[in-house]
Chain A
Amino acid sequence: MIESFVAPFEFGFMQRALVGGVLVAAICALVGTYVVLRGQAFVGDALAHAAFPGVVIAYLLKGNIYLGATVFAVATALGIGLVSRRSRVSYDTAIGIMFAGAFALGVLLMSTIQGYTVDLFGFLFGNVLGISRRDLLLVGLLGALVVLTVVLLYKELLLLSFDPIVAEAMGYPVQALNYLLLGLMALTIVISIQAVGIILVVALLVTPSATASLLTERFFRMMLLGILLAVLAAVIGLYLSYYLNVASGAAIVLVSTCLFFLVLASRRLRIAAKPRA
């Protein structure tokens, strides 16, 4: 029994996958707390898709894929803000325009490469089992940057998320803080691409935090619970991926989805079972 828990991690690639998966899941859930409470799931999905042309261009130029993804995700984050502020187009329409356009550019560029599309598909759907030492180092460094920012600006980001109008009235640079949060989202997405892929990253960003929001009414606890649930999903997902030989990113996401519905159902049951006072 214990054997089957330990066995997978005798392989170096599985150890790296475990460390990488857990790190990525935890950071996604940390930032995801803000994404969920600010209702920005669509923004997260958009930033992820917008990173794709950056990946393809970096691949074409044999450059650093993470750098390419970062440039495009951050540029899109700024672009969404600009388009919606400078024109009559609404925020979510601006997102739709920007992210579909950017993603199409990525697909277009990808179609010019012959024979190498398999690697690029890896970035769309992720493969945490293929995570390298260098990848891990980068995930660790950028992840630490995200965590440090959240720790230092905990109060300010909480106020911004809860009541941006009063935050501005108190003199906080609300616009800059909004862009900072978008930047954190972009960074988080970039470091998640290898593990879960562009298409699925929004699930890691949103699902564990949403599950946590069903379990507590306190912000800090929601953050911790979200991280815990995300780590749990990453670990279970990895085992499933190993023993059932299925795609790792999809397995992690699906475990996370199952946890959400389990919590939702148990809450419903508890409410139904509670005698009415």
Chain B
Amino acid sequence: MEKKGGQYCLEVRELAAGYDGTPAIEGITFAIPPGQMVGVIGPNGAGKSTLFKAILGLIPRQQGEILLHDAPALDQRAMMGYLPQLEEINRAFPVSVEDVVMMGRYPRIGWCRRPRSHDDEAVRQALARVELLDHARTQIGRLSGGQQQRAFLARVLAQDPHLLLLDEPVSGVDTTTQHAIFALLEELRNSGKTVVVATHDLNCVVERFDQVLCLNRRVIAYGPPKEAFREDTLDQTYGHHLMIVQVGDRRVVVADEHHR
């Protein structure tokens, strides 16, 4: 077989994963070249979070292979930055925003070592990018939900990973922040990072993302949004709850309210 060295950042082959024997997702195969922004869409329970957790080794993989730059992803987890869908943290935990962002540096700093000045600098830059410099010394629980989400995103930035896995980073965040976050993700993509985002905002995927992965326990479609978003693929992904409407040169996905 032809060796395609370094062609892909992330390569998933025939992945099946889940708890207790019954896989929540199966037969998952796709590959992402570096420097792409990929949206993962699908209804609740489709396995978006499961896919992320399986890639990160947080839940057991029952079958298949996951490669990061042609080597097993689990051997290089520090190269993957993860933003969980819901941070289940103790809000009273005595750490400041900058402490939390510094945690992203830990794998690079290494065991038993202390942060150095370039780590402090990386933290400051990450905070600046999510516009939280003014809150650097605020205790994490005192931030609003949207600010907290940005703080955790800053932790991913400080980690400086090759691959970013962001599980619904804009859920529960106001529209202004949503746009700021997506603009930031585009910047990261343009600087060569591979960004994978689980989201419910299909229109945003159409407008901003390079690829879309339609997921419902298995891969329904994978490709550029204009090709992957068709009536039949959306039907298979979501059931008959969505419609595609052509507005001028924009293609808009709308929920079919009668089916809700």
One digit per residue, 1 when the CB lies within 8 angstroms of any chain A CB and 0 when it does not, for chain B 56-67 equals: 111000000000
Q: Does A166 contact B (CB under 8 A)?
A: yes
State A152–B139 Cα separation when bound (angstroms): 25
B94 near A219 with CB under 8 A, answer yes
Binds B, one of A168-176, A231-239, A248-256, A263-271: A168-176
Q: How many residues of A contact B (CB 8 A)?
A: 24
Binds B, one of A8-16, A130-138, A156-164, A179-187: A156-164
A216 near B94 with CB under 8 A, answer yes
Q: Does B80 contact A (CB under 8 A)?
A: yes
A222 near B82 with CB under 8 A, answer no
Q: Does A37 contact B (CB under 8 A)?
A: yes
Contact of B58 among A159, A163, A168, A221 (CB under 8 A): A168
Contact of A37 among B93, B107, B111 (CB under 8 A): B93
B100 neighbours in A (Cβ, 8 Å)? 162
Given A163-B87, A165-B58, answer yes or no on A218-B111 (Cβ-Cβ < 8 Å). Answer: no
State A161–B78 Cα separation when bound (angstroms): 19
B106 near A163 with CB under 8 A, answer no
A218 near B58 with CB under 8 A, answer no
Q: Does B112 contact A (CB under 8 A)?
A: yes
Q: Does A144 contact B (CB under 8 A)?
A: no
Q: Does B95 contact A (CB under 8 A)?
A: yes
Q: Does A97 contact B (CB under 8 A)?
A: no
Residue ID in chain B nearest A39 by CB atoms: B90
State A158–B100 Cα separation when bound (angstroms): 10
Q: Does A217 contact B (CB under 8 A)?
A: yes
B139 near A217 with CB under 8 A, answer yes
A166 neighbours in B (Cβ, 8 Å)? 82, 84, 103, 155
Dominant secondary structure of chain A at its interface with chain B = helix
B56 near A169 with CB under 8 A, answer yes
B84 neighbours in A (Cβ, 8 Å)? 165-166
A163 near B94 with CB under 8 A, answer no
Instruction: Find the residue from A37, A168, A217 having the highest chain B CB count within 10 A.
Output: A217
Residue ID in chain B nearest A164 by CB atoms: B88
B58 near A222 with CB under 8 A, answer no
B56 neighbours in A (Cβ, 8 Å)? 168-169
B77 neighbours in A (Cβ, 8 Å)? 169-171
A213 near B103 with CB under 8 A, answer no
A158 neighbours in B (Cβ, 8 Å)? 95, 99, 103
Q: Does A82 contact B (CB under 8 A)?
A: no
A219 near B58 with CB under 8 A, answer no
B107 near A171 with CB under 8 A, answer yes
One digit per residue, 1 when the CB lies within 8 angstroms of any chain B CB and 0 when it does not, for chain A 24-49 equals: 00000000000001010000000000
State A170–B96 Cα separation when bound (angstroms): 20
Q: Does A62 contact B (CB under 8 A)?
A: no
Given contacts A159-B103, A165-B84, A218-B96, 17 further A-B contacts (CB under 8 A): A152-B112, A156-B111, A159-B106, A162-B95, A162-B103, A165-B88, A166-B84, A169-B56, A169-B80, A169-B82, A170-B77, A170-B107, A171-B107, A216-B94, A217-B96, A219-B93, A222-B94
Q: Which residues of A contact B (CB under 8 A)?
A: 37, 39, 152-153, 155-156, 158-159, 161-163, 165-166, 168-171, 213, 216-219, 221-222
Q: Which residues of B contact A (CB under 8 A)?
A: 56-58, 74, 76-78, 80, 82, 84, 87-90, 92-96, 99-100, 103, 106-107, 109, 111-115, 139, 155, 159
- Between A and B, 16 residue pairs with Cβ closer than 8 Å are A37-B90, A37-B93, A39-B90, A152-B112, A153-B112, A155-B103, A155-B109, A155-B114, A162-B90, A163-B89, A169-B77, A170-B82, A171-B74, A213-B92, A218-B95, A218-B96
